[in-house]
Amino acid sequence: MNSKEIGSASLSTHQDADLLDPRTRDTIIAAANGIAERTGIRIDEIACEADRLTIQVDGPTLMAIGLLAELRRSTDHWHVQKFGSHLWMTGPDDDRDFPMDDHE
């Protein structure tokens, strides 16, 4: 009998972000599905709460973490450009500084 490995990982939102906003939530879910499709990852579940996104993938936890790392990078940049604030929680050593205009 084969046991299927399910990996899970989460991202916490920045205090100024809200994943329950339908436009933001739909954009994040579409981006996650697009990354998964391009990389051959099968997403089993995506759960959005106001302050957290959790995904489960068909594979190891490291695969879920990798998908979320790319999702964090691309959607945080989008959120800063669109709303002027970060989407995801930053750590103490996070020095992200996105310009408000890509042409700067």
Q: How many CB atoms lie within 10 A of CB 91?
A: 8
Sign of the alpha-carbon dihedral angle for 29, 31, 37, 41: negative
For residue 88, pLDDT beyond 80: yes
The answer to whether 73 touches 20, Cβ cutoff 8 Å, is no
The number of domains in the chain is 1
In a domain, 57, yes or no: yes
Which pLDDT does position 97 carry in this prediction?
55
Output the domain CATH number for residue 11: 3.30.70.1290
In a domain, 52, yes or no: yes
**Mean pLDDT score across all residues of the chain:** 87
In a domain, 101, yes or no: no
pLDDT tens digits, one per residue of 19-62: 999 999 999 999 999 999 999 999 999 999 999 999 999 999 99
Q: What confidence category does residue 94 fall into, taking pLDDT thresholds of 50, 70 and 90?
A: low
Which pLDDT does position 32 carry in this prediction?
97
In a domain, 95, yes or no: no
- Domain housing 47: 6-83
Range 6-10 average pLDDT: 96
